[in-house]
Amino acid sequence: MSQKVALITGASSGIGKEAAIELKKQGFTVYAAARRIEKMQELEAKGIRPISLDVTDDESMVQCINEILKIEGRIDVLVNNAGYGSYGALEDVPIEEARRQVEVNVFGLARMIQLVVPGMRKNKSGKIVNISSMGGKVWTSFGGWYHATKFAVEGLSDCLRLELSPFGIDVIVVEPGGIKTDWGIIAAENLKKVSAKGAYTQAASKIADGMIKNYTGNQLSKPELIARTISKAVTVRRPKTRYLVGFMAKPMVFMKNLVGDRGFDRIIKMLF
């Protein structure tokens, strides 16, 4: 296992950071990629190799992959973790911001896959882990663009799994529930910023306050849980196609399947 090379995007904090630590423990040579490389000194001290990456910049992505291949000669595992949540009423969110959300959460992920697949195909092995969300199966108020990207990741991953299975490459989707990271705070701040005025003011403010309360509380799962799930997925011989894990992930998806769309709408309105 010491010869296996893993690349994790969005690794400066949260799930990506913990996944880097966990895979290092499992004996991988780990490259932790993020825009702000200065935030990864702690990882570097653990023997993890920070590398600069901006998933909205093609030159940065190409340079990242080429640098690893030049040093290691291979990339065995890609964990597509980079992403964020941009909340706001569809009517209010500027299309430029919507495009950026899709660029980061979908096109950046897809481009990284394009860059690693030739080497994996040549080696007849590899594992691609796409971090989706329970938000790729269910929905919440004012999360239209975020949920659109995660639903897209789900469909893209299913098609990719069929394409790459003949070459010995596994495609794995991890669908976290509520995780104790800054994600919810950032999404809530975006929501307040975008929909603080106008027709959605009251509802948006109430939901944003609820998100902040939720993400500053103690109910959510720790990112280490997702890191352990990723580690399991990339070390077993035959991984599952999906791992739905974390606070409320399974109950929320179960409820949606049980009560249908309008029934789930009522549940979301009640919860938020």
pLDDT tens sequence across 204-244: 999 999 999 999 999 999 999 999 999 999 999 999 999 99
Convert the pLDDT of each residue in 242-266 to its tens digit: 999 999 999 999 999 999 999 999 9
Joined together, the tokens standing for residue 2 give 């010491």
Convert the pLDDT of each residue in 75-109 to its tens digit: 999 999 999 998 999 999 999 999 999 999 999 99
Residue 16 has pLDDT above 60, yes or no: yes
Average pLDDT over the chain, rounded to an integer = 96
Mean pLDDT of 177-205: 92
Phi and psi torsions of 237, nearest 5°: -70, -40
Mean pLDDT of 135-154: 97
Residue 197 confidence (pLDDT): 86
Residue 272 confidence (pLDDT): 75
Residue 111 near residue 55 (C-beta atoms within 8 A): yes
Joined together, the tokens standing for residue 165 give 């299975």
Residue 1 confidence (pLDDT): 45
Give pairs for 231-236: CB < 8 Å, separation 24+.
Answer: 231/19, 231/22, 231/23, 231/25, 231/26, 233/127, 233/129, 233/172, 233/174, 234/6, 234/23, 234/77, 234/79, 234/127, 234/129, 234/172, 235/1, 235/26
- Of residues 31, 84, 87, 146, which has the active-site annotation? 146
Residue 271 has pLDDT above 90, yes or no: no
Rounded to whole angstroms, how far apart are CA atoms 46 and 49? Answer: 9
Residue 67 has pLDDT above 80, yes or no: yes
Q: In which band, very low, low, confident or very high, does the pLDDT at 155 lie, cut at 50, 70 and 90?
A: very high
What is the architecture, at CATH level 2, of domain 5-271? 3-Layer(aba) Sandwich (3.40)
Residue 123 has pLDDT above 50, yes or no: yes
Mean pLDDT of 121-129: 98
Residue 51 has pLDDT above 90, yes or no: yes
Residue 196 confidence (pLDDT): 80
CA distances in angstroms from 12 to 34, 73, 174, 224, 245, listed in the order given = 6, 24, 19, 14, 22
Mean pLDDT of 107-131: 98
Rounded to whole angstroms, how far apart are CA atoms 52 and 189? Answer: 26
The type of residue at 110 is: A
Whether 84 is a known active-site residue: answer no
